[in-house]
Structure 1
Amino acid sequence: MTDASLQDTPREAGLGDYFALLKPRVMSLVVFTALVGLIVAPVPVHPFIAFVGILCVAVGAGASASLNMWWDADIDRIMKRTANRPIPSGKVQPEEALAVGLALSGFSVILLGLAANWLAAFLLAFTIFFYAVVYSMWLKRSTPQNIVIGGLSGALPPMIGWAIAAGNITIESTLLVALIFMWTPPHFWSLAIFVKSDYGRAGVPMLTETHGRRVTRNNIMGYMVALVPVALAIGFTSIGGPLYLAVSAALNMWFLKACFVVWRRDEEQAEADNFAAEKNAFKVSLAYLFLHFAVLLVLPATGFGGW
């Protein structure tokens, strides 16, 4: 065989290639927020049920990611940051990704229903459906508000965790969902500003493409302002308390300042320093969400949780 024919021969996919279909970095955030939702719920959970429940959430998140990669393979080939994903790189065939996504979806939902309860299983099924069908197949390519509405799928894991433990939906779990939902636009649009050309080449109607960076900056600031009362409201529930309020206030001031800097800049300033403020806002957003959930996680052990 010639060198050219060897290059054209697809190699057999390895375990690592299939694992990459599950978007493990995204899965880690899903698992963490679901775990916090489970732990802060006022009902003790048997460790085995908790383990199986969080495992099902992780598998369900991976399933929806695999279905997303199957559907988005055409635009993933165009975008620099996604061109090396398993399907566009030729490591995994599209039909394999579809089969993995469907199999893991069914497995995770059924197992969660049997191990925990069917409310948690329904919420997991809805999350998978929303991400794979509503967001990936419909919203992502049809509206610049794709990340806003589609963000619901990434916001639901703490409610699933709470439902695993308590078997219900409460104001606390709803506010945890609202926190992630309102956080997603300023988080993602900060990223979109400095990877603008990627979305344009792929034909994805990101707000930066359809309305420009100035409108995107305005929206980042608007959603950030709306995020603040949601984050603080958690402090007045049974899972919050004075310590949470103090930490949340500091985190909101930090993120608000980062978004304000992004909002006040013009394109000439941004391009002059290679979008340093936008990249900083994106990094701050990651710390902002992680630390909010981290403080909720440790509050019960400190004795400063609740009122």
Structure 2
Amino acid sequence: MSVVEHHAAELSPRISEASVADYIALLKPRVMSLVIFTALVGMMIAPDGLHPVLAITSLLCIAVGAGASGALNMWYDADIDALMSRTVNRPVPRGRITPGEALAFGLTLSFFSVMTLGILVNWIAGGLLAFTIFFYVVIYTMWLKRWTAQNIVIGGAAGALPPVVAWASVTGSLAPEPIFLFLIIFLWTPPHFWALALFRTDDYARANVPMLPVVAGPDVTRLQILLYTVLLVAVAVLPWPLGYFDAIYGVTSLLLGAGMLRLAISVYRHREGHAALQATRALFKFSILYLFMLFAVLLLDVIGAAFVRLIWS
């Protein structure tokens, strides 16, 4: 489909049937919730802290920026979303929101989230948020997703940046801690999404999206899932011996990593029938718990330390 054909629908004069719920769906609230949580952890582990009003402002800007990325993604991907059972009920392919409205909504949110974060907090954080939106929409959605089976690997950088943006909103700089958080999410993304792609292969094939199982086959995908999981577990543990995160985090990381490895090995071993489907779904579900628990431990550690200081002060 040419660029002209892809966006011709934007000129349609029909009246939108969108409700508030449709616009909320356009923001990809599930993805947004993960972004808010990882950004909160990046903010809380940063030294010195931030004024509560500025902290809330920063989180809201990061959340709105993530929602803007989701809206622009749905605008551009409306044609392939309409072909996939997982995405066919999104507001644009359903006709609830016109492509032009989705584009305008996404651009407006992008502009105001970046400008608000830059003006009220600092321009390093604002610039990183702008780059995150650009990377997700232009580099991943418009280019990588339809061009290469490595779309998730490279594109995962966009989803890994929110804790870095949050850290920068507090400190105005970068440091090893947010880089580790970035690497954890970056390396977590391929096994998480490839597990989904293994039991959604027909969807991606129908939409002509070159996901790894479609292009290279399920066996290669299973091997890549295992390799990335091994790398993820190693990198996730690394901040502990290097002294950036404490032993509670380190032990939790080892235990969760053992669970991820066990499930990744199960996916690699079970290649046919119901057992293969169960293995991929189990890994997909556990991967969400893995990331949540890993970041939750860091958050609870900060809260616990603050509580102890409050008691002894």
TM-score, with normalisation over the residues of structure 1?
A: 0.93
1:224–1:69 CA distance, 2 compared to 1 (3 A): same
Letter in 1 for 2:181: L
Aligned partner of 2:289 in structure 1 is 287
Are the counterparts in 1 of residues 270 and 276 from structure 2 also a CA contact under 8 Å?
no
Pairs within 5 Å for 1:16-165: 16-165=21-170
| CA deviation after TM superposition for structure 1 residue 78, in Å | 0.3
Q: Does 1:298 align with 2:291?
A: no
What CA deviation, in whole Å up to 9, does each residue of 1:49-88 have, x standing for no partner? 0000000000000001110000000000000010000000
Letter in 2 for 1:125: A
Q: Distance in 1 between matches of 2:57 and 2:116?
A: 8
- Secondary structure of 1:234 counterpart: coil
Q: 1:204 aligns with which of 196, 209, 218?
A: 209
- Secondary structure of 2:234 counterpart: helix
How many pairs align?
Answer: 293
- Secondary structure of 2:83 counterpart: coil
Are the counterparts in 1 of residues 237 and 254 from structure 2 also a CA contact under 8 Å?
yes
- Give the fraction of aligned pairs with identical amino acids, expressed as a percent: 52
Q: Distance in 1 between matches of 2:96 and 2:303?
A: 45
Q: Distance in 1 between matches of 2:242 and 2:97?
A: 46
| CA deviation after TM superposition for structure 1 residue 10, in Å | 6.3
Aligned partner of 2:223 in structure 1 is 218
Aligned partner of 2:252 in structure 1 is 247
Letter in 2 for 1:18: Y
Aligned partner of 2:6 in structure 1 is none
Aligned partner of 1:262 in structure 2 is 267
Are the counterparts in 1 of residues 267 and 276 from structure 2 also a CA contact under 8 Å?
no
Q: Distance in 1 between matches of 2:241 and 2:112?
A: 38
| CA deviation after TM superposition for structure 1 residue 19, in Å | 1.3
Aligned partner of 1:166 in structure 2 is 171
Letter in 2 for 1:159: V
Q: Distance in 1 between matches of 2:241 and 2:123?
A: 29
| CA deviation after TM superposition for structure 1 residue 178, in Å | 0.3
Are the counterparts in 2 of residues 172 and 237 from structure 1 also a CA contact under 8 Å?
no
Q: Distance in 2 between matches of 1:55 and 1:237?
A: 32
| CA deviation after TM superposition for structure 1 residue 13, in Å | 1.1
Root-mean-square deviation over aligned CA pairs: 1.4
Q: Distance in 2 between matches of 1:117 and 1:29?
A: 23
- Secondary structure of 1:275 counterpart: helix
Are the counterparts in 1 of residues 201 and 213 from structure 2 also a CA contact under 8 Å?
yes
| CA deviation after TM superposition for structure 1 residue 156, in Å | 0.3
1:237–1:294 CA distance, 2 compared to 1 (3 A): farther
Are the counterparts in 1 of residues 152 and 190 from structure 2 also a CA contact under 8 Å?
yes
- Secondary structure of 2:146 counterpart: coil
Aligned partner of 1:232 in structure 2 is 237
Structure 1 unmatched ranges of 5 or more? 1-8
Are the counterparts in 2 of residues 172 and 238 from structure 1 also a CA contact under 8 Å?
no
What CA deviation, in whole Å up to 9, does each residue of 1:22-74 have, x standing for no partner? 00110000010001000100121100000000000000000011100000000
Are the counterparts in 1 of residues 44 and 302 from structure 2 also a CA contact under 8 Å?
no
| CA deviation after TM superposition for structure 1 residue 239, in Å | 4.7
Aligned partner of 1:3 in structure 2 is none
| CA deviation after TM superposition for structure 1 residue 229, in Å | 1.7
What CA deviation, in whole Å up to 9, does each residue of 1:186-207 have, x standing for no partner? 1110110001100000000000
Q: Distance in 2 between matches of 1:259 and 1:273?
A: 13
Q: Distance in 1 between matches of 2:16 and 2:40?
A: 37
| CA deviation after TM superposition for structure 1 residue 114, in Å | 1.1
